[in-house]
Amino acid sequence: MTDMLQPGARIGILGGGQLGRMLAMAAARLGFDAVIYTPDEDSPASRVAAETVVAPYEDLEAVRRFAQRVDVVTYEFENVPVETAHAAAAHAPVRPDPKALEVAQDRCVEKEFVNANGAATVPWRAVGSRETLGEALDYIGTPAILKTRRFGYDGKGQAALKSRDDAQAAFEAIGARPAILEGFAQFTRELSILAARGLNGEIRAYPLSENRHGGGILKETEAPAEADEVTRSQAFALATNLLEALDYIGLLAVELFDLGDGRLLVNEIAPRVHNTGHWTMDACLCDQFEQHIRAIAGWPLGDPEALAPARMINLIGEDALGWRNWLNAEGAVLHLYGKREVREGRKMGHVNIVERG
């Protein structure tokens, strides 16, 4: 197939964080050269890549020069400006299509898109001002969560409302920015499904992951999650719909709320490799990073089956200082991201604990 990139080809990655680092390592293992585009000097990804371009995302001239020097462009970060992705697309295929960025960058656009494609979400309303927050509360009721429409991650830019009295404080707490008000999901657990779509339309999904968050940030994932056939096929169908609607090439993550009564709600989607898929690095023949690289390179997708059950533990902030303790732990595999500075709430690495039979 002529659409298949050959080993030695160059893969451009927008974003220099740990996801870019692990994508670059997977690319290297398949014989590709990763070229990172990041505004940061000394990013985690650039230190394992063949080359790096350090420039702001808004420098479209630099973006064009970068895209001219690679065979395909992808992104590891959903807040890459859409114009940046479009500028790159003039010179190299951008996979997944920038359309996925447009959808994922704005929580209201995302929910509208998910609902339009047949998947349920919590009830939600766009909030543009203090006044519309009142109207949204009439519709949603409490408890509820107010979130900024854009740029939220790891639970940042969110405020919980226990009652209407919290409305003003919540709006101020998120910086009085354009927001979304969401009904509070009474879920029994959080799941995610990671699925990839290849250039030829083939789709393969990893087993469901069960994810535990604390303060809005992912702490642990267990996979494969225990789930009946109905739940598994519902999650797969839902991911398939979204992948096809976006004409998506690459790996997509879908975060789910399991209501425990057979219903799954979509929380959010991430058009990239995802923290809840890190367990695949040590429990699957083809991990999520290789799967994404295969997809964007036009290669056949790899085998996403789990060879063994696994638990992924995020090393957040000072957790990482205890890295030595994991070296001799039964079944544990340590992954560190090479971040120079430990900061509270910062993802520094993770550990996969693989259950051996």
- Return binding residues: 107, 147, 152-158, 190, 213, 267-268
For the chain, how far is it from start to end, CA to CA, in angstroms?
40
CB of 297 to ligand ADP, least distance (A): 28
Q: Find the binder of ligand ADP among 173, 185, 259, 332 (CB under 6 A).
A: 185
**Pair of tokens at residue 44:** 């985690």
Q: Find the binder of ligand ADP among 267, 275, 314, 352 (CB under 6 A).
A: 267
Interface map 240-259 toward Mg ion (x if CB under 5 A): ---------------x----
Segment near ligand ADP (CB under 6 A); pick from 97-105, 125-133, 180-188, 330-338: 180-188
Position 153 contacts ligand ADP (CB under 6 A): yes
Q: How far apart are CA 11 and CA 352, in angstroms?
A: 27
# residues near Mg ion by CB under 5 A: 1
Secondary structure letter of residue 306 according to DSSP: B
**Pair of tokens at residue 7:** 């080993």
Segment near ligand ADP (CB under 6 A); pick from 93-101, 109-117, 183-191, 306-314: 183-191
Position 71 contacts ligand ADP (CB under 6 A): no
Position 178 contacts ligand ADP (CB under 6 A): no
- Considering beta carbons, is residue 267 or 288 the nearer one to ligand ADP? 267
**Pair of tokens at residue 346:** 């910062």
- From start to end of 174-329, where are the E strands? 179-183, 189-197, 203-205, 209-214, 217-223, 250-258, 264-270, 310-316
DSSP per-residue letters across 197-211:
E-TTS-EEEPPPEEE
Q: Which does 78 bind (CB under 5 to 8 A by kind): Mg ion, ligand ADP, none?
A: none
Q: Find the binder of ligand ADP among 213, 219, 232, 346 (CB under 6 A).
A: 213
- Considering beta carbons, is residue 182 or 255 the nearer one to Mg ion? 255
- Considering beta carbons, is residue 65 or 219 the nearer one to ligand ADP? 219
Phi-psi region of 331 (alpha: psi -120 to 50; beta: other; left: phi over 0): left
# residues near ligand ADP by CB under 6 A: 15
Q: How far apart are CA 230 and CA 184, in angstroms?
A: 24
Position 258 contacts ligand ADP (CB under 6 A): no
Q: How far apart are CA 212 and CA 316, in angstroms?
A: 14
Cβ-based neighbour number of residue 6 at 10 Å: 9
**Pair of tokens at residue 326:** 């994991």
Q: Find the binder of ligand ADP among 13, 19, 145, 208 (CB under 6 A).
A: 145
Helix (H), strand (E), coil (C) string for 59-115: CHHHHHHHHHCCCEEEECCCCCCHHHHHHHHCCCCECCCCHHHHHHHCHHHHHHHHH
CB of 7 to Mg ion, least distance (A): 35
Q: How far apart are CA 204 and CA 184, in angstroms?
A: 31
Binding site for ligand ADP (CB under 6 A): 122, 145, 152-155, 182, 184-185, 190, 213, 216, 255, 267-268
